[in-house]
Chains A and B, each alone.
Chain A
Amino acid sequence: MAYAKETYRAELLAAARQLGERCLYSAAKWAAELLVGVEPDAAPVQSAAMDTPSSSSATSAGRLLHLHRSGGSSFRHRPRPGGGISSEAGTPLGGVSYVSTPIPDDDAFDSGGDKYLLAKTYFDCREYRRAAHVLQKQVGRKAVFLRCYALYMAGEKRKEAEMIELEGSLGKSNAVNQELVALEKELSTHRRTGSIDSFGLYLYGIVLRDKGCEDLARTILVESVNSYPWNWSAWSELQSLCTSSDILNNLNLKNNWMKDFFLASAYLELKMHEEALKRYERLMGVFRCSGYIQAQIATVQYSMRDLDEAEMKFEDLLRTDPFRVDSMDIYSNLLYAKESLTALSFLAHRVFLTDKYRPESCCIIANYYSLKGQHEKSVLYFQRALKLNRKYLSAWTLMGHEYVELKNTPAAIDAYRRAVDINPRDFRAWYGLGQIYEMMGMPFYALHYFRKSSYLQPNDARLWIAMAQCYESDPLQMIEEAIKCYERAANSNDTEGIALHRLAKLHGMLGQSEEAAFYYKKDLERMEVEERQGQNFVEALLFLAKHYKSIGRFEEAEHYCTRLLDYTGPEKETAKNMLQGIKRSQSGFPSMDTDHFAL
C-alpha cells in the first residue's frame, strides 16, 4: 500500500493540532507549514482537508480510533513494531519502507477540561506560573505535561531575567532554571511508572539536557520521537545533541518518514552536504511546496558554494513567503558573497519591517553595512544579534571578520574565540584566528589555528593554502612543509590555482626543476582551460622554455619560446634570443651567445 500523500496530510494535521493543544508552538508551526507543503494529489479526496484521521480511508487499522480512554489522556497501546497488524509498511520515497506510527488521539478533554482550557489561555498569554497553578492536582497526562511545561517555561523566563540581573564583574553568573530539579524528579517518577507520554518525554529530555546529562537526554529524546515522530522540536533538540556522525549513527531510531527530515538536517549540521542534499531532494518529491525544505536545500547549496542555484531558491521562497525571517540570514550571507548590494538592502529592509528584534534580522542588517564598508555599524548590529542570542554562532564569526576590517585585532580574536568555544567544529572561526595572528606577524603561532581548521575541513584548498603561506613566510622559511600543504591544496580542487603556481615556484627555488616543470605545465594547462592569461602564464612559459632547453629537449623548448613571442615585454626578447640559440645548437654550430656581439 502506498504511503499516500493523504496519509502524510492526515498525520501532519493531527500532529499540528495536538502540538498546538500542548502549547508546543514551534513544533506545531513546523507541522502546519509542512502540511501546507504537501501538494494535494491530482484528484482531491473529498474529505482530506478537514477530517480527523479516522475518516481517512488510507489509514491502517492501527490508526483507527476506537480507543478506550483511561485517565486523562489516551494513548493506544502501541503494537510492537513488526507485529504485523498495525505497523503498515508503506512504500515511501526512494523505496525505503517506513514504519508508520499510530496517531494518538486526545482531542477530547477529560474531566478537567475547563481548567485545561484556562491554563492554556494563561500559557498563551505567557503567564506561565498561573497556568501551572491552575493545573495543580490535575492528573491527566495532558494536564501534567502542560503544568510541567509551564513550570519549565516560567523557570526559563526567570533565568533569562536573572542572567541580566546577576551579571557580575567576572561575567555571567550561573543563572540556572530553578525548576529543573523538581521537574526532573517528577518526570523521572512518571517515566518509571509508565505514566508519561511522548510529550512528557520530550520535556524530560530538554530538562536533562539543561542539567548536563546529555547521554540520558539523548536516550529519552529518542524514546520520545520513536513514540511520537511528528514533534519537530524533539528532533531538533536531538540533533543539537548529536555533535558527531558517530553519535548520529548509533541512534536507535524507528524508520519513520520524519527521520529523513532529521537526518538531512543533522547531515547539514555535520557538513555532510551531499547526503543532506540527497535526502532533501527526495523529500521534496512529496512536500513539493514546503518552504522549509526549499530553504534547507538552498542552505546546502550555499554551503557547497553553489551560489546561483541557492539564490534562485531563496528568491523563489521569498516570493511565496515574503515575511519569512527563518534562514534569511543565510540568504544575506549569500548576497554578501555575491556582493549584490541592492538585493541585500531590499532584504534588510523587508526583515526590518517584519521583525527587527530577531537575531537573524540584526545579522542581515549587519551584513548589509559590512558590504557597504561601514564596519562600525555592522559591529553594532552583530552585537545586537548576540544580545538576543548569545549562542548565535555565525554572528560571532562574522563579527570577528568585521573587527578584522576595523583593525581591532584583540576584539576580533575574542569574537572568533567565543565562536570556537560555542562550537569547536566551526572551521571558519579557527581560520579567522589563524589569519589574524598571521596578520600580526606571528605565523608560527597562527599555524596552530590553521591546523585546527584544516583538520575540520580537510578538503578545503583555501585552508591548506593559508597554512602553506604561513610556512613559506619570511620568518619561518619551512619550504618543505609549505610544499606539502600546497600539494594538499592542489589535490583538493583549488579553484584559484594559487597552489600549482606556488608549488612550481617553490620547487624551482629548491632547484628541483623536474618537479617545477611538472607543476608549471599543470598550471599552464589549467590557465588554458580557464582562458586566463597574465604574468603567471608568461612566467610558466619562460620557465618551461628554459628548462627544456637546459635538458636538451629543444623541440619543446622551441614550442614554448614561440608561444612566448605572443607577449610583449622583456620575456619576448629573451625568447627570441633563446630561439636563436636553439637553432644554432640544432644546426650543429658551436653555440654562441649573440649577446656578446650585440654591443
Chain B
Amino acid sequence: MSLFAGVSGGAADAASGVGTGRALLELTPHKMAVCQLVQVFAPPAQAGGDVVPPFPFESLAHHNRLGLFLFTLTRSCEDFLEPPLEEFLRQLKAVDNLANGWFCEQLTSSLSALNSPDDLFNFFDKLRGVLTAPEGASAEDVFLDPNSQLGVFLRCCILAFNSMTFEGVCHLLADLVMYCNSTDASYDLAEDEDFNSEMGNLMDADIGSQVGIFDKFHQGYASERHMGESSSALTRAPTSTYYFDDANIFKADDNPTCLRSRWQLEAYLNQQADILEKDPGSVPLNSFNATMTQLQTLAPELHRVQFLQYLNALCHDDYVASLDNLHRYFDYSAGMQGLFGRSVSQVQDIVVGKYESALLCLGNLHCYFGHPKKALEAFAEAVRVSQMNNDDSCLAYVLGAISNLLSKIGISNTVGIISSPYSLGTNIGLGTPLSIQQQLLVLLKRSLKRADALKLASLLSFDHLSLAKFDLKHVQRPLVSFGPNASTKLRTCPADVIKNLRLGSLVLTDFGADVLSTSNDNGSFSTSWLRNLSAASDSWRRSSKNTKKLHINDFDDFHYHAQPSPVPAPILQLAGSAYLLRATAWEHYGSAPMVRMNALVYATCFADAASSSELSLAYVKLIQQLAVFKGYSAAFCALKLAEKKFPSSTSLHIQLLGMQILHERALHRGHLKVAQQICDEFGVLSSSVSGVDIELKTEFSVRRARTLLAAKQFSQAAAVASSLFSTCYKYNMQVENASILLLLAEIHKKSDNAVLALPCALASQSFCKSFNLDLLEASATLTLAELWLALGSSHAKKALSLVYQSLPMILGHGGLELRARAHIILAKCHLSDPKFSVLEDPEAVLDPLNQATEDLQALEYHEMAAEAYYLKAMAYNHLGKLDEREEAAARFKDHVTALENPQNEEDSLAY
C-alpha cells in the first residue's frame, strides 16, 4: 500500500522550480522536524512490519490524520517564515491530542538529541530507510511511496543534506539548537550532559503509559469506529472555524529565521496578491511594505516581492512608489536570467518576465491612475515590442487592454490618440478616420481572433465580455450605406450581447488549455486546513473570545467537507463577471427580476473569487432594486449591512450608492438644500480632466438638472440637461441620450410647455425603441400621455390608449414610483375624459389612486402623493362621499405642507 501516491502532481510543480545546480530546498530545523514526523508516520520497515497501523497509532484514522497534517505542512503558505517549534508543537497537539502528546515528546526529544554533526548524518541515514522498501517486501507492505508528496519531500531533504558542505551542516546544527531552545526551558536540554539518559527515562515512561492512553482512545472513539473508512474518520477534525488573529504571536526573537520552500513562498505571494485584489482596504500600506521588505532581505533574488510592492502601492494610490517598483521588478526579472547564478523559474508565466509585459503593466498603471494618453503610448509600444519579439499572447493581451482603456475613456477627438501606424489602419475604404468606437470594435475583434487562435481561454472570455459590453452600449449602423434612400436605421442588438455573454461564460468549461489551469493547487486549501486545525486545538481556551468574530468572506470560512475548488479563481472571476454583466444588460433592457436574479447568482456563487469592487457592484445592484421596489427604509437597512462589509471609504461603488439613494429621498421629501448638497458632492468626486470619469460626470449633471427641476428653476434645469445632451452626443453615448431627452421632456412638461416637451418625448421614445430600452420606453410613453393630457381634454382618449399600452411593462417591471405615476395618470385620463363619469365606474379611478398612494408612502414622495390625494378627494367629491373626501383632503394638506415647509432637513443626510 503506498500512501498518498496520488498527490505527486504538486510535487512535480515543486520540482520544476529547481534552480541551476542548487539544492531543491534548503534544510531547516523545521523541515527536519517534519522529516522526523514522517519517520514516525511511515517507520522504516522492520521484521514483522505488517502491523497495520504501525506502532504508535491506534487506528487507521489516526494514522491518516498525521499523514494529512504532514501533507498540509509541506503545502501551506500562511507565512513566508517557518513556524518556530512552539507553534509547530501546538499544531501537532491538535493531531496528537488522542495520543496524549506522545508525538510532541517524541519529536522534541529526538530533535534535541541531535548534538553533533555526526548525529545529523545518522539522522538522515535513518531517513533513507523510510523510502527504501525492505528486502523481500511484498506490494502490500506499508512503505512510503517515493513519488508521493511526502516521499518527494523526504528525498529533497536527503538530497539537500547530501549536497551540503560541512559549514552548512554546522549551520544547520546551530539553527537546530536555537530552534529547540526557543520553545521553553524544559526542552532546553541540548547542552545538558545528562540529557540522553534523562530523556530515555522519560520516553520509557511514556511508552509504558501508552497502553493506558490507547485504552482511553478506544473508549472515546469507539462509537466512531463503525464509520470504518479512514477518510470519514478524518472528518473528526473539529468543524469549528476559529482562526488566529495574529499568526505572529509566537515568533520568538531568537528563533532562526528560515524561509519556507520556494513553492510555498510563491504560493504565499500569490495569496497576498489575491488579498490585495480582493480587499485592498484590509492591507495597510506600510505594514505590508515592511513585511515585503523583510522577505526581500531574506530572499533578495525573489523578485516577485517587488511586484507585490508595486501592487500594494497601486492599491493605495501611490503613483511614484508603484512606478518605481514596477520598473525595478521588470529590470530585475524581465531578462529571465541573472549574473550570479540566479535560479530561473521554468513556469512560463504569462505576465511575468518579459519586457513587453512590463509595458503592458505600465500601460495598465497609467490607465489606473487616469492618464489615458500615457497609457496609450505604453500600449502602443507594447504592441510594437511584442510584434518584434513574436510574443503573440502578450499582443493579444495588450489589444485587450487597449480596448479596455478605450471603453473606459470617452475621448472625443480621436485623431492623434492612436497616432502610430502600428496600432490600426486609420482608414477603411472611405477614407474617413475611425471613431474611437470603431477602433475599439476593430481592436476587440482582433484580440478575440488572436485569443481564439492561441487558445487563451481567459482572454477569449474577457474579449467576449468586452464585446458584450460594447454591444450593450453602442449603436450599430450599417457599415455601407449608399444613396438617400438607404436605410440608416440605428439600433442596438441584444442578441449579440447575449451571444457574447454566453460565449464568455464558456470559459468555465474549457479553461483546460490555458495557463491558468496549471496553478490549480495554490496551497490555500492546505493553509486554511492547518489554520483551522490549530484554531480548533485552541478552542478550549479561546472559544468564548472568538464567537463574536464575523466572517468577512465565505472563503475564509473553512468548511471541512469542502474540496479545493476545481476551477481556478481567475476563471471563476471571469465567469462571474458574465453574470454581473448580464444583470447590467437587463437593467438596460428593463427586466427587474432578471437583474435581481443575476446579481444574486453573482453574490452567492462567485463571491469567493470576486474582487471587492465587483462584489460591491453586485450588492449595489441588489440594493438599488430594493430602493426602487421596496422603498428607502429597506434599502438603507441593506446599505448598512453592505457598508459593514465594504467600508465606504474603500469602496467607491457603495459610497456612490449611498449618495444616490440619499439624493433620491431628499428630492422626494422636498429637502432641496440637502439634495443640492449631495449633488455638489457628486460633482467633486469626478476628476477635473476632461474625458475621464465620464459616467460620473453624466450622473452629476443629471442629478443637478433634477434638483433644479425640483426647485422649479426650469430654464436652468433645461440648460443643464441640454448641455449634457450635447456632451453625450459628442462622446457618442446614445443610450444615455435617451434618458436625457426624457428628462428634458419632463422639464418642459413641468414648466407647462407641452409643445416643447412633445418632440423631446417622442425622440426619447424612438431612441428607446431602437436601443431596446423597454422600461425607459414605457416611461417615455407615460410622459407622452401626460403631455397629450396637458394639451387639452380632447386628447384624453389618446392619452388613455398610450397609458394602456405601457401598463403591462410598467406593472411587470416598473418600480414603485413608475407604477404610482402610471396609476395617477390613468386616473387623470379618466377624470379629464368628458365622456367618463365617476359615478358610473368609481373603481376605475379609485383603485389606481389607492394603489398609487400606497406605493408613494414607501417612497415618501410628497409631491406625487399630494397629487394622488387631490385626485382622490376630487373623485370622492363627485361621488358625494364627504367623509372620505375630507380624509383625502387632510392627507393632501399634510403632504403639501411637508413639501412646502421641509422640516428636519438634516435627517435626510442620515440613514
Contacts and interface: CB of A to CB of B under 8 A. Distances in A.
Given A170-B302, A448-B323, A165 B167 contact: yes
A416 B22 CA distance: 26
Q: Pick the 8 closest A-B CB pairs, nearest first.
A: A410-B335, A171-B301, A170-B299, A171-B300, A417-B331, A165-B167, A169-B22, A169-B19
Contacts of B381: 441-445, 475
A150 interface: no
Contacts of A169: 19, 22-23, 26, 262, 301, 343
Given A414-B332, A417-B332, A442-B381, A172 B168 contact: no
Q: Is the interface of A mostly helix, strand, loop or mixed?
A: helix
B718 to A, nearest CB: 41
A165 B300 contact: no
Given A415-B339, A475-B420, A170 B301 contact: yes
A174 interface: yes
B300 A170 contact: yes
A200 B265 CA distance: 42
Nearest to B338: A414
Given A171-B300, A441-B385, A413 B331 contact: yes
Contacts of B422: 475
Nearest to B420: A475
A414 B339 contact: yes
25 contacts: A162-B171, A168-B299, A169-B343, A170-B265, A170-B298, A170-B300, A170-B302, A171-B300, A171-B302, A173-B298, A174-B297, A411-B335, A411-B337, A411-B339, A413-B331, A414-B338, A433-B331, A440-B385, A441-B381, A444-B381, A445-B355, A445-B378, A449-B327, A475-B380, A475-B422
B262 A410 contact: no
Contacts of B343: 169-170
Size range of the chain B interface in the assembly: 35 or more
B659 to A, nearest CB: 38
Interface in A436-473: 437, 440-445, 448-449
Contacts of B334: 410, 413
A215 interface: no
Nearest to A443: B381
A168 B335 CA distance: 21
B26 to A, nearest CB: 5
Interface in B292-318: 297-302
Contact of B327 (A170, A440, A448): A448
Contact of B171 (A165, A172, A476): A165
Interface in B1-60: 19, 22-23, 26
A171 B328 contact: no
Contacts, number: 97
A421 B262 contact: no
Contacts of A165: 165, 167-168, 171
B269 interface: no
A101 interface: no
Contacts of B19: 169
A169 B327 CA distance: 23
B336 interface: yes
Given A166-B171, A442-B385, A383 B328 contact: no
B388 interface: yes
A433 B332 CA distance: 12
- Which of B265, B327, B388 has most chain A Cβ within 10 Å? B327
A419 B114 CA distance: 44
A475 B382 CA distance: 11
A409 interface: yes
Interface string B226-259: 0000000000000000000000000000000101
A410 B336 contact: yes
Contacts of B87: none
A111 interface: no
A173 B380 CA distance: 40
A413 B329 CA distance: 11
B633 interface: no
Nearest to B329: A417
Contacts of A162: 171
A477 interface: yes
A453 B250 CA distance: 46
Interface string A393-415: 00000000000000001110111
A96 to B, nearest CB: 41
A174 B339 contact: no
Contacts of B385: 440-442
Given A168-B26, A444-B377, 17 more contacts: A165-B165, A168-B259, A169-B26, A171-B301, A174-B257, A414-B335, A414-B338, A417-B332, A441-B384, A441-B388, A442-B381, A444-B381, A445-B358, A445-B359, A448-B323, A448-B327, A476-B377
